[in-house]
A = this chain, B = another copy of it.
Amino acid sequence: MGVIRKTKAVTTVLNIFENKNEAKSVVSLIELVKGDMNKTTVYRILDRLEQDGFIHSFNGKDGLKWYAKCNGCSAHKHSDKHPHFQCKECDKVECLSLEVNIPILKNHKVDSTDILLIGQCESCSV
């Protein structure tokens, strides 16, 4: 049984991620759905969608929270791990399907690895 009720607000947020395969900052999402729903609701919906494996979150270069669609994750298996790229000009973020090899760390138990490449995207590096 899904933890999630299909409310109008959930559908709206879900559609944003379904239609454009693009990472979104929470701030931009709140702006995008302003009028349709409260910012608290946005935060809470994102929480639930992440728990259910529909989206994943990460911190952008300024420490703000970003979300993007997952590929092949579920509530019990979050397998879609990958680095991100953020453009320092236009701020846009891309999910990268890159394999990065991290050497083993002695005496540490590593659970996850956050990798953020920063630079200029294709449009901005002309």
The answer to whether B113 touches A118 (Cβ under 8 A) is yes
Q: Which of A95-126 contact B (CB under 8 A)?
A: 96, 98-103, 105, 107-122, 125
The answer to whether B98 touches A100 (Cβ under 8 A) is no
The answer to whether B108 touches A122 (Cβ under 8 A) is yes
Q: So how many copies of this chain end up in the complex? A: 2
With an 8 A cutoff between CB atoms, is A34 at the interface? Answer: no
Indicate which residue in B63, B98, B111 contacts A63 across the interface (CB closer than 8 Å). Answer: B63
With an 8 A cutoff between CB atoms, is A64 at the interface? Answer: yes
The answer to whether B110 touches A119 (Cβ under 8 A) is yes
Q: Which residues of A contact B (CB under 8 A)?
A: 59, 61, 63-65, 83, 85, 88, 96, 98-103, 105, 107-122, 125
